[in-house]
Amino acid sequence: MKYSGWPEKGDLVVGKVDEIEDFGVFVDLEEYEDKRGLTHISEVASGWIKNVRDHVREGQTVVAKVLEVDTGSQQIDLSIKDVNEHQRKEKIQDWKNEQKADKWMSIAFGEDVDDEQYGAVANALLAEHGSLYDGFEQAAIHGMEALEDVDLDEEEKRSVVDTARDNVSVPYVNVTGYVDIRCPTADGVDHIKEALQAAEGNGSVPEEIELTVAYVGSPEYRIKVRAPDYKTAESQLEASADRAREAIESVGGTAERSPARTIGADQAE
């Protein structure tokens, strides 16, 4: 999707070098329809520039900062040198993500989706989630719940969710914690088994969460959680330990939890 409007002063934009002159570089803006900007030679790179072509080449994808926008004269002034490496990488990733989301829109609503429907769905996702990509990502993680407040009908929401779950690679974080469970009664072993079943949730854990409980060595048990983010993982880990504690304390046992540890993060391909 390309925006029909204009970028604003201070925005970072992705563009392709279209023409190089002695006085500067013309850049076609990839995110905007029929928009072209000019980077003066003084804004191409820091320091004195003898030859612009030593710093950019035709066809090169660049990230630039918008210095000025004059809609009357159809002029957009850009700076390439004002963008640091971190900003460049982050902007390029965001741009690639939105390109993916644009393809997902075509999958969800068909290659021949009309501009009116596309715009309505895109604006609804943007209003709630900030970007098309984030909207699809949240739909992949949380399903229809992520679109509860999005201004779309049920069929449109279902199309977004189904497409997201078939196509979106969701990042996950793995967290582990330990709980010591003891029960001094004669049937303590059975009570501990029931406490472990309670810790696993008995089917109450959200479908986007992977939670397992394993024996380490009496009285220690390991709880592992795989979730979309650390906050959710820690919350689920705490809830799991609380369920075990409540179950075992109700029959005269005890449960003590060790702090959680982040094992690592990964992203499905």
pLDDT at site 44: 96
Residue 253 near residue 188, CB atoms below 8 Å: yes
Per-residue CA distances from 96 to 100, 162, 198, 205, 232 (Å): 6, 21, 43, 33, 27
- Counting as low any pLDDT under 70, the low residues of the chain are 1, 259-269
pLDDT at site 171: 77
Looking at domain 12-82, which CATH architecture does it have? Beta Barrel (2.40)
Residue 263 near residue 230, CB atoms below 8 Å: no
pLDDT at site 269: 38
pLDDT tens, 231-240?
888 899 999 9
Instruction: Give percent above pLDDT 70 in the chain.
Output: 96
pLDDT at site 204: 82
Residues in CB range of 252: below 8 A, 6 or more apart? 183, 184, 185
Residues in CB range of 229: below 8 A, 6 or more apart? 171, 173
Per-residue CA distances from 227 to 53, 81, 112, 234 (Å): 47, 39, 36, 9
pLDDT at site 268: 42
pLDDT at site 266: 55
**Distance of alpha carbon 249 from alpha carbon 182, whole angstroms:** 9
Using DSSP bridges, classify how beta strands 171-182 and 61-70 pair: parallel, antiparallel or unpaired. unpaired
Q: Which residues pair with 100 in a beta bridge?
A: none
Ordered by start, the domain boundaries in the chain are 12-82, 86-167, 172-264
Domain 86-167 annotated CATH 3.30.70: no
Per-residue tokens: 119: 């715009």
Residues in CB range of 104: below 8 A, 6 or more apart? 132, 136, 163, 164, 167, 168
pLDDT at site 6: 95
The single-letter DSSP state of residue 1 is -
Per-residue CA distances from 27 to 20, 59, 66, 79, 213 (Å): 9, 9, 12, 11, 55
Q: Which of these CATH numbers, 3.40.50.1820, 2.60.40.10, 3.30.70.1130, 3.40.50.1100, describes 172-264?
A: 3.30.70.1130
Residues in CB range of 228: below 8 A, 6 or more apart? 141, 170, 171, 172, 173, 208
DSSP string, 64-81: EEEEEEETTTTEEEEEST
